[in-house]
Structure 1
Amino acid sequence: MRARRMTHVLVTATAAGSLLVACSGAGGSTSSGGGDKSINVLMVGNPQMEDIAKLTKSTFTKDTGIKVNFTILPENELRDKVTQDIATQAGQYDVATVGAYEVPVWHENGWLHELGSYADKDSAFDKGDLLKPMVQSLSGADGKLYALPFYGESSFLMYNKDVMKEKGITMPERPTWQQVADIAAKVDGSRPGMKGICLRGLPGWGELGAPLTTVVNTFGGTWFTKDWKAQVNSDKFKQATNFYVDLVRKHGEAGAPQAGFTECLNAMSQGKVAMWYDATSAAGSLEDPKSSKVAGKVGYAYAPVVETKSSGWLWTWAWAMPKTTKKADAASKFMLWASSKKYEKLVGEKLGWARVPSGKRASTYEIPEYKKAAAAFGDITLNSIQEADPTNPGVQPRPTVGVQFVAVPEFQDLGTKVTQEISAAIAGQTSVDKALNDGQKLAEEVAKKHQ
């Protein structure tokens, strides 16, 4: 796999005026200047990232003298920006947040620095403490580590315990999707303005595409067979997508076609929906009384299933260093600190233990303060991560690894285009059949390149 194969999936980056910038000791600059004691970090706009942007100046910069210029973007915009910067080797950023999809693909293209050796030299980092699924997802075919996990996640069902109690509903620990749909119908409208469930409807292979693909997997579908036959308009894929779209249209959140992770987090934390199926990493924000009206009132169940025993995804937002950086030493110091036990302790003591960027270290789940703060969701998060099987997430063999994605460069473009059509179906602008028939044609073009 060569770099030229990635160029066709590049998307024009969002105009600079739309950038949401949070800075640490750098006055808002995202330029590459500032000398050896200044690095540029591009990261996704999740609560954990916003936390590190607040904490860096008074801790990491104070201790090392290294200024960190943070650029924070919404998920879809982040993916476009980081892909463009790294694939074209523009060299604007010294560190970028990437995930389990990008690392193996970009490593093969020779775009990323190897990071395992940096971790090995730092005894305090304790590389052996990292959870095995996270290490495997961030390693190249050569077995070397090419990104350091900031936090790891699977997916699960979050629900308002008070609403369930009022309706006399007992949530199964391992519900089926049909049970979830039935419960959504019962709790829809149980309080003024409350909807039954929140499910992502925002287009994007990593937005709507992530939860939808886990539903497809457990319904018995797949994007491609092991020998690269496209399956986007197959019966099982259609059944799963119709189920998802119908559930959102009947009992989902207002403005669903524009709702991604952030919008669903806000809806759940403000008591506007009774259930939410999404990333396990959301629990820390839901349990923070400073920002959540439902803190202490949320229950957690394993990802709903149909034909499989489990269906949670596997993901990590991780720090990667482009080969183009001229500040590898400073960048590596930041990444090692940001993924360290020391940083987890800092978050716990300064911001609250529920907000620790967890899901990456075994030791996190042995910290007494964290165990207490994460009592409602810690064990189920760890179990969900360990149960996720990126090599066999469905009922049939797959051509690549990945639970909620297909690990080839073309999937970024394919997944986004197909989810645009499915989002339009949620909005009532097209049918699921048309969306998937159009998607099948796109998938067949991708398949031809790998058969």
Structure 2
Amino acid sequence: MTRGITRRTALTAGAGLLAAPPIVREANAQSRFDWKRFAGERIEVSLTANPRSQILIQNQREFEELTGIRVGSEQIPEQQHRQKFVIEFASGRPSFDVISISLHVNKRQVGRARWTTDIRALMADASITDPEFDFADFGAGAVAYSTQADGRMDTLPEFTDYFILYYNKELLEAKNIRPPQTFDEMYDSAMRLNDPSRQIFGNVGRGLRNANVVLWSSFLLGTQQRDCLDDQRRLITDTPDAIWAGEFYKKLLRDCSPPGVSGFNWNESQTTFMQGRAAFWLDGVGFATPLEDRARSRVAGKVGYAVVPRGPAHHHCAMFGTALGISEASRKKGAAWLYTQWAVNKTNQLRFLTSGAGAPARTSPYRNEEAIRNSRFSREYFATLIESARISRPGLPEIVPVTEFRDTIGAALTSTIGGADVATELKRATEAFRPVLEASERAA
């Protein structure tokens, strides 16, 4: 069963936008590896609705023909999908064999409950692991993200979402401004480019509670502190560094962003940037596709891509990611493992990259010169992804109550856009969330 696509997938212009690289499906079929070992079985796959899931579902017939395994696939909007799989896992009888997981939201929750299988044993079994699987091709950061603190690797990396800086080349060139190298440069340039009388703003970004925390954490990553938790996993979101990040967030959104930005999520930010009304936009790599859609975007062909600017102490970009897990309750782990291998094989990962669906977890797509040369995206885009991978760090703390964390800290940040004192708001939010975190950690 395939369900409708919403959220980011709705931003693509349809299947025609997904320019797939040359198919190499015959290569593995001709090898001695027995892809037909589980022929006749049927597995259920539950995916979050996004461009990567769309690619997998559009091409899953390749897997079915290769293996003889039938696949029932669904894709569900992100929030509903998280609710669904938590409820089903907790019931002990999940309806799916393979599940996509947002690591920045559910990694610790899934790992603590041991809902998904440790795939290390599966990878070590030559009878069910394709010799061309090439685990070494996955980036070290993506592998670490899929690995729990106790060493269990209970998901396989699929996609790594880096925050990057989108900029309007036309607006910057008109005032002879180069892409900013530091956060201070970003603010100064945004102020120079800010012209509310023409409905042109120096910056646009997430101001809405919850959604905005990942923007604030992008600034925090540039400080000496870098993290929201200390070495003892205690909350540290009201420190001088956290306050500095909040002050920068406040002035960037208050001084040189559109009116009403406190209610902006990614969608409103994207719309503003697509209309050519913002010079800078710091957000995830997955928005490149709609920005370059000439039928819908006024800035198509005029979008610049750069890594997140350097902070006062460090240079990092926020990293988020998705991975595929195999339900521990599944009775079809072998067939599920074959699907998981196929889903993140080099061909599909290259499809992700060249279609603009995001940054693949494997490294080989970035070395495919022919595909990059023929892509609609500029070399600057690919160079930005490669550099972002080098400087990336998780953009959210790996905790179970991450939604409550985002709600609480996010509400404080939104208040600052309206003029509230940053230190006061972060102190209040930290004190409110600290007992929630402590209770969660005790339950671990």
- 1:444 paired to 2:434: yes
Match of 2:279 among 266, 274, 278: 274
1:182 equivalenced with 2:188 (yes/no): yes
Q: What is the identity, as a one-letter code, of the residue corresponding to 1:179?
A: E
Tell me the TM-score normalised to structure 1 length. Answer: 0.76
Matched, 1:371 2:372: yes
Taking structure 1 as reference, are residues 57 and 244 closer, same or farther at Cα in structure 2, changes over 3 Å only? same
- RMSD of Structure 2 on Structure 1 (CA): 3.3
SS at match of 2:251: helix
1:244-393 superposed matches below 5 A? 244-253=249-258, 255-289=260-294, 292-345=297-350, 353-355=354-356, 357-372=358-373, 373=375, 374=377, 375-388=379-392, 390=393
Counterpart position of 1:416: 407
Q: How many residues are aligned here?
A: 398
**TM-score normalised by L of structure 2:** 0.77
Residue 436 (structure 1) shift: 1.7
The answer (yes or no) to whether the contact 2:159–2:322 under 8 Å persists in 1 is yes
Q: Which amino acid aligns with 1:171?
A: P
* Residues 424 and 187 (structure 1), Cα distance of their counterparts in 2 relative to 1, 3 Å cut: same
Which of 88, 93, 99 pairs up with 1:96? 99
Q: Once the 2 structures are TM-superposed, how far is the Cα of residue 254 of structure 1 from its aligned partner?
A: 5.4
State how far apart, in whole Å, the 2-side matches of 1:242 and 1:81 are: 37
Distance in structure 2 (CA, Å) of the matches to 1:223 and 1:366: 35
C-alpha distance 193-439 of structure 1, shift in aligned 2 (>3 A): same
Q: Deviations over 1:401-446 (max 9, x none)?
A: xx322223234422332213423443x3965445323212134315
CA shift for structure 1 position 180: 1.0
Residues in 2 aligned to 1:319 and 1:364: alpha-carbon distance in whole angstroms: 19
Are 1:171 and 2:179 matched, yes or no? Answer: yes
Asked if structure 2 preserves the Cα contact closer than 8 Å seen for 1:209 and 1:415, the reply is yes
Q: Give the aligned residue type for 1:359.
A: P
Q: CA separation in 2, counterparts of 1:361 and 1:346? A: 12
Matched, 1:407 2:398: yes
* C-alpha distance in structure 2 between counterparts of 1:83 and 1:261, whole Å: 25
* Residue 36 (structure 1) shift: 5.0
Identify the residue that residue 195 of structure 1 maps to in structure 2.
201
Q: Which residue of 2 aligns with 1:132?
A: 140
Shift of the 19–163 alpha-carbon distance from structure 1 to 2, 3 Å rule, reads closer
Label 1:95 to 1:431 Cα distance change in 2 as closer, same or farther (>3 A). Answer: farther
Task: For 1:224-235, list aligned pairs within 5 A.
Answer: 224-235=229-240
Contact 1:158 1:275 in 2 (8 A): yes
Rounded Cα–Cα distance in structure 2 between residues aligned with 1:384 and 1:68: 35
Structure-2 change in CA distance of 1:228 and 1:341 (3 Å) = closer
Cα distance in 1, alignment partners of residues 217 and 99 from structure 2: 25
2:289 and 2:357 in contact (8 A); partners too: yes
Comparing 95-104 and 157-166, the one that deviates more = 95-104
For 2:311 and 2:351, the matched residues in 1 are separated by 41
Structure 2 unpaired stretches of 5+: 10-39
Q: How does 1:67-106 map to 2 (within 5 A)?
A: 67-74=71-78, 76-89=79-92, 91-101=94-104, 102-106=106-110
How far did 1:364 drift?
A: 0.5
- Alpha-carbon offset, residue 317 of structure 1: 1.4
Whole-angstrom distance in 2 between the partners of 1:60 and 1:238: 50
83-92 or 121-130, larger mean C-alpha shift = 83-92
- Identity, in percent, stands at 20
Residue 393 (structure 1) aligns with: none
Q: In 1, are the aligned partners of 2:207 and 2:262 still within 8 Å (CA)? A: yes
TM superposition shift of 1:118: 4.0
Moved more, 178-187 or 428-437: 428-437
Distance 1:287 1:367, change over 3 A: farther
Report the Cα distance in structure 2 between the residues aligned to 1:313 and 1:254, rounded to whole angstroms. Answer: 26
